[in-house]
Amino acid sequence: MVDPDPLSDFHSAETGEPFQDCISCGLSLDHDPSLPYLVAKSYHRNECIFEYAICDDCRSNMAQEFSPGSKQALAGFFEERVKVRERSHLLDSGNGPAPWIEKCAACDSPRNQMESYSLGGVLLGMHMIYDPYPLCLCGKCEEEIQELLSLKTRGMWDDFVEVHFDGPPADVEDLPVKGRPVLF
């Protein structure tokens, strides 16, 4: 059966509806129809335990604070493991993000066999922006990414979570990345 809304994976698991506001600045995500936003969701045993949407301005401002070493390590990981240019062939697979998120973008593990994973997609209004997003990363690859990040950058993520979320989800201790989002 075809999903009636191909973007439903990028709607809030809590409401079932598209995200409305930027988690960081609080502005409506449709206040500027030319401003993209990232939706990031983390799953454990197929239950969404962490989700947010952040406008491109806030996302860019936060990314500028990453340590130079973290920026370089992330770029290297995505260049070597995700093979962004090779993923472009998925544009030929038709409309919708499903082919982009059916397996880990770094190791090709099938999503339906993962214990934990994250999804990320960049949207412009109600339209997905493709290449390199949307993508799925398995928990093991997320662990690898976390190991590449500097203590400064990890601390930024911890601060982000502390400021924007009431507390860690109940199952966060089971996650290899301790609730730190890795898709940004």
pLDDT in tens, 24-44: 999 999 888 889 999 999 999
Which pLDDT score is estimated for 3? 52
Spatial distance between the Cα atoms of 130 and 88, rounded to a whole number of angstroms: 8
What Cα–Cα distance (Å) separates residue 165 from each residue in 30, 50, 64, 115? 22, 9, 22, 23
**Residue 182 in this model has a pLDDT that exceeds 80:** no
- The count of domains in the chain is 1
Name the strand (E) or helix (H) holding 43: strand 37-44
Q: Is residue 49 part of a domain?
A: yes
Task: Indicate the average pLDDT of the chain.
Answer: 86
pLDDT above 90 (res 1): no
d(C-alpha 149, C-alpha 66), whole Å: 9
In a domain, 181, yes or no: no
pLDDT of residue 174: 43
Average pLDDT of 1-28? 88
158-180: average pLDDT: 62
Domain membership flag for residue 138: yes
**Is residue 183 a part of any domain in this protein?**
no
H/E element, 146:
helix 139-148
Interatomic CA distance for residues 16 and 69, integer angstroms:
38
Evaluate whether residue 1 is within a structural domain.
no
14-17: long-range pairs with CB below 8 Å, 24+? 14/51
Domain membership flag for residue 146: yes
**Full residue range of the structural domain in which residue 95 is found:** 8-174
* Distances in whole angstroms, Cα of residue 20 to Cα of each of 17, 24, 101, 166, 179: 8, 12, 23, 19, 22
Residue 66 lies in a domain: yes
pTM: 0.87
Name the band, by pLDDT with cuts 50, 70 and 90, for residue 172: very low
Asked if the model's pLDDT at residue 173 lies above 70, the reply is no
- With respect to residue 67, please indicate whether it lies within any of the assigned structural domains: yes
Instruction: Give the amino acid at 110.
Output: P
Residue whose C-alpha is closest to residue 55's, from 77, 73, 30: 30
- The single residue listed with the structure tokens 């090779």 is 86
